[in-house]
Amino acid sequence: MDLLTLKNKLEKGRYLGGKEIYIKSGDVICGIESIYKDKDNKYIALLKSKEETILVDDFLEIIEQINNEIGNVDVFISDSEYNREEKNEVESIEFAQYETMKVLFINI
């Protein structure tokens, strides 16, 4: 998924009340630890976290800055900061509500 498509889908999720973003792969849910740009500015990689995640508003600010710097690049998910070559494509964005908690999932 490219950066602007991701941004548009996250903005829709924020409009629905989504507060936090998580990465979901099957039954496994992870947070987002950090965001890396590749050296050639061809894509960005979101690094999975076992504990932390990021708020939707903060994430949207960051990807807006990245879009202004390097343009509409592809977005991938990576398991490790040391091996960003193994990356998963973003398939979809999902809104979920658990009692009072509203979250967005980046599905891979």
pLDDT tens by residue, 73-108:
999 998 876 565 667 899 999 999 988 889 999 999
Closest to 98 measured CA to CA, from 20, 34, 14, 7: 20
Instruction: Specify if 105 maps to a domain.
Output: no
Query: Taking the model in full, what pTM does it have?
Result: 0.87
Instruction: Specify if 26 maps to a domain.
Output: yes
Instruction: Specify if 74 maps to a domain.
Output: yes
Greater confidence (37 vs 72) lies with 72
Q: What is the pLDDT of residue 41?
A: 86
Per residue in 17-51, pLDDT (tens digit) is 999 999 999 999 999 999 988 888 889 999 999 88
Tally Cβ neighbours within 10 Å of residue 97: 11
Instruction: Specify if 55 maps to a domain.
Output: yes
Q: What is the pLDDT of residue 100?
A: 87
Q: How many structural domains compose the chain?
A: 1
Instruction: Specify if 7 maps to a domain.
Output: no
* CA–CA separation, 73 and 64 (whole Å): 12
Instruction: Specify if 52 maps to a domain.
Output: yes
Instruction: Specify if 6 maps to a domain.
Output: no
